[in-house]
Amino acid sequence: MRIEIWADVVCPWAYIGKRRLEAALAGWDGERVEVVWRPFRIDPMAPRKAEPLAEWQIDPLVDEALSACTPDGLSPAENATRVSRIAADAGLGTPFGAVWRADSGPAHRLIALAHERGGAALQDAVVEEVLKAHFVTARDISDPDVLAEAARAAGFADGGDLLASGAGTDRVREDLLRGKAIGVRSSPTLVAGKRALAGAQSPEAMTAFLRDAADTPPERELPEEVERLRLAEALLDKRDPLGALTLLRPLLAEHGTEWSVRVLAARAYYHSAQLERARTELESLTAHSPDDAYLRLLLGRTLERQGRPEDAAPHLRLAAAMRQDEE
């Protein structure tokens, strides 16, 4: 059974959740569990060069930025006090807490690369070193040298060099979009199949989650292309057409003639205001399926947005007539 932990390494609850899951797994007597870490960003606007966290927390917009990592509606100060106490109880030591507002993007790339290179065990070791650097030894985990040191300590000797090469960028970008598509909204969130557990809950709650996931019959595994298409559609439904197009890019390259791929791409072009691309694709689609009311409607609206009402009118009339016939 695979458990995915969607978490940001600058979220203290991710570290506490890691310890609580470890406690749950220590007493687990069920099937073997593989734990894989996936990225989540609570502060995607963090500067590339880290700045003192205390200065940033003065900003009134911080409450909103940290809400994905602050349970129960606590203020950052109240949350920090609570976290320190709980972290000590979890064996993470004192003092506990970050001192830098650090961009976690490079750390997420390192963690993804560790999984690609050495699987779940190496990845877990890297996650541990990164979290320890950020929350225990108060290092700047946006610093490539700090991350390279963490990688070496975890047994990932060439992690720093891979990170410097830019490797892992596409993987993390796609994973972040995948997390958004499946509805991950907070750090940490545990996902097993279609089941999710949000927050760094108690070991007992995590054990119950593991048992529930283990007792649930696994769903039929879909081909990677079908899964990617579904995730792209979910992003479009969440009003992220650019994210949908990012996930569609490999499908457009390899399966660009597939009807479902083309229709979804046309929708994403339209909703991301790439109107000329949308028009070109929709004209081709309607030529092959002239009685598709939805495609006619979308083509008409595309032409309207391009400032071509006379060209749009016939398509809109046809779409309306087709829908009346269906009723």
Q: Which of 2-11, 56-65, 118-127, 206-215 has the lowest mean pLDDT?
A: 56-65
CATH topology of 2-215 equal to that of 224-326? Answer: no
The pLDDT of residue 283 is 97
Confidence of residue 60 (pLDDT cuts 50, 70, 90): low
Q: What is the third-level CATH fold of 2-215?
A: Glutaredoxin (3.40.30)
CB count, 10 Å around CB of 282?
Answer: 28
CB count, 10 Å around CB of 307?
Answer: 9
* Domain edges within the chain: 2-215, 224-326
Distance, C-alpha 12 to centroid of its chain: 18
Q: What is the CA radius of gyration of the chain?
A: 23
In contact, 50 and 101? CB cutoff 8 Å: yes
3: helix, coil or strand?
strand
Taking the whole predicted model, whether its pTM rises above 0.85 is answered as: yes
CB count, 10 Å around CB of 116?
Answer: 13
What is the tens place of the pLDDT at every residue in 132-156? Answer: 999 999 999 999 999 999 999 999 9
Lookup result for tokens 């691309």: 277
Mean pLDDT taken over the chain: 91
Decide which of 300 and 218 is more confident.
300
**Facing residues of 39 across strands?**
7
Residue 59 has pLDDT above 70, yes or no: no
Residue 53 has pLDDT above 70, yes or no: yes
Lookup result for tokens 């003192």: 52
Confidence of residue 58 (pLDDT cuts 50, 70, 90): low
What is the tens place of the pLDDT at every residue in 256-291? Answer: 999 999 999 999 999 999 999 999 999 999 999 999
Give the CATH superfamily of 224-326. Tetratricopeptide repeat domain (1.25.40.10)
- Spatial separation of the C-alpha atoms in residues 265 and 282, rounded to whole Å: 10
